[in-house]
Amino acid sequence: MPERPDQGLARHQRSSQFREAYETGDKHVGRLMVVYLRRGEGASLRLGVVASRKVGHAVARARARRLLREAYRRERHRLHGEVDVVLVARAALLEAEWPAVLGDLEALLKRAGLYE
């Protein structure tokens, strides 16, 4: 079986974890994505990725989630803090160039104070 590129990346898996990030976390809105941060017990830079039907059909949503996971994977080594991150794709993500995706994520994470 081929190795998954996001293997080893701790991820949110339960809806309660996502709900807690939405309700109690910090929110930072960008052009291509929205970042929610959940602080508190058990937070350890885990990632949750969401793409709603507003983004597009199933294939488009899957592509948006892959883009967000890869962008986070590339930036994670530079991050610090006891927070969990939820990335929510916006429709413009699918039309954006890769450097713009990385730039938007970096700007949002800097605004959130997660860079060392």
Higher pLDDT, 9 or 96: 96
DSSP 73-106: HHHGGGB-SSEEEEEEE-GGGGGS-HHHHHHHHH
pLDDT at 2: 40
Q: CB 35: neighbour CB atoms within 10 A?
A: 25
Please name every residue paired with 36 in a beta bridge, in sequence order, or none if there are none: 27, 86
Asked whether the predicted pLDDT for residue 35 surpasses 90, the reply is yes
CA 50 to chain centre: 8
Q: Residue 105: which of 81, 91, 89 has the closest Cα? A: 89
Asked whether the predicted pLDDT for residue 27 surpasses 60, the reply is yes
CATH number of 15-111: 3.30.230.10
pLDDT at 3: 45
What confidence category does residue 1 fall into, taking pLDDT thresholds of 50, 70 and 90? very low
In the chain, what are the domain boundaries? 15-111
pLDDT at 9: 61
Q: How far apart are CA 33 and CA 87, in angstroms?
A: 7
Contact (Cβ atoms closer than 8 angstroms) between residue 76 and residue 9: yes
